[in-house]
C-alpha cells in the first residue's frame, strides 16, 4: 500500500503525457513519490525564493524537471497527497522556456537569481500549498496548455 497518493491534476496531464518516449524516468519517480517524496535517494529539493515554503523540485533524466507540493489527506486516515505541479525542460540559457521560470511566472512571483541552495525537500517540514493557491495555479496552467497565455511549454 502506498504511503502517499500522487495526484496529477487534469491541467497537468498533458505535460506529463509529453514525457512519453522522452526517457525522462517519470515512472520511476512517480513510484518513489508514492513511497516517500522525502526519501534522500529521490533527490527532491526545495525551490529557492518565494516558492520555498510550498514547492519542491526534482531532476528527471534528459533535462526534464518536475515540481510538486503536498497536501493533507482528503479523508481521515487517508494518505498525504503529492500534487504534481509542472513537468518541463530545464533551459537556464533560454529563460522564457525554462521550467523554473515558467513555474514562477504561473505563480506570479519572481524567479530568484542563480545560486539556489537547494535544501532537501522535507527539511524543516513538508512543502504545503493551500487549496486556493493550488486552484489559481492550475487555472493558469490550464490557460497555458490551451494556448490562451502568451508563454508556451
107-127 tens-digit pLDDT: 989 877 766 678 899 988 899
43: left (phi over 0), alpha (psi -120 to 50) or beta: left
Average pLDDT over residues 2-18: 90
Q: Return the residue matching grid coordinates 500500500.
A: 1
Please give the domain boundaries of the chain with CATH numbers for all domains.
4-145 (3.30.2310.20)
Average pLDDT over residues 121-141: 90
119: cell is 535544501
* Contact (Cβ atoms closer than 8 angstroms) between residue 125 and residue 54: no
* Contact (Cβ atoms closer than 8 angstroms) between residue 89 and residue 117: no
64-111 tens-digit pLDDT: 999 999 998 888 888 999 999 999 988 766 666 788 888 989 998 987
48-62 tens-digit pLDDT: 888 999 999 999 999
Considering the entire predicted model, what is its pTM? 0.89
Q: How far apart are CA 113 and CA 31, in angstroms?
A: 32
Residue 152 pLDDT: 43
DSSP string, 73-94: -SSTT-PEEEEEEEEEE--TTS
Q: How far apart are CA 66 and CA 68, in angstroms?
A: 7
Q: Return the residue matching grid coordinates 526517457.
A: 23
Amino acid at each position: 500500500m502506498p504511503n502517499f497518493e500522487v495526484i496529477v491534476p487534469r491541467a497537468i496531464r498533458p505535460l506529463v503525457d509529453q514525457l512519453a518516449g522522452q526517457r525522462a524516468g517519470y515512472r520511476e519517480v512517480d513510484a518513489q513519490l508514492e513511497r516517500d517524496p522525502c526519501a534522500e535517494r529521490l533527490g527532491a529539493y526545495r525551490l529557492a525564493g518565494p516558492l520555498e515554503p510550498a514547492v519542491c523540485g526534482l531532476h528527471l533524466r534528459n533535462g526534464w524537471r518536475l515540481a510538486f507540493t503536498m497536501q493533507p489527506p482528503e479523508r481521515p486516515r487517508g494518505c498525504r497527497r503529492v500534487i504534481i505541479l509542472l513537468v518541463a525542460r530545464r533551459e537556464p540559457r533560454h529563460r522564457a522556456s525554462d521550467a523554473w521560470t515558467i513555474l514562477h511566472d504561473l505563480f506570479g512571483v519572481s524567479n530568484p537569481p542563480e545560486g539556489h541552495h537547494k535544501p532537501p525537500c522535507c527539511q524543516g517540514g513538508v512543502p504545503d500549498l493551500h487549496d486556493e493557491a493550488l486552484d489559481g495555479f492550475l487555472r493558469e496552467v490550464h490557460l497555458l496548455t490551451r494556448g490562451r497565455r502568451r508563454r508556451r511549454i
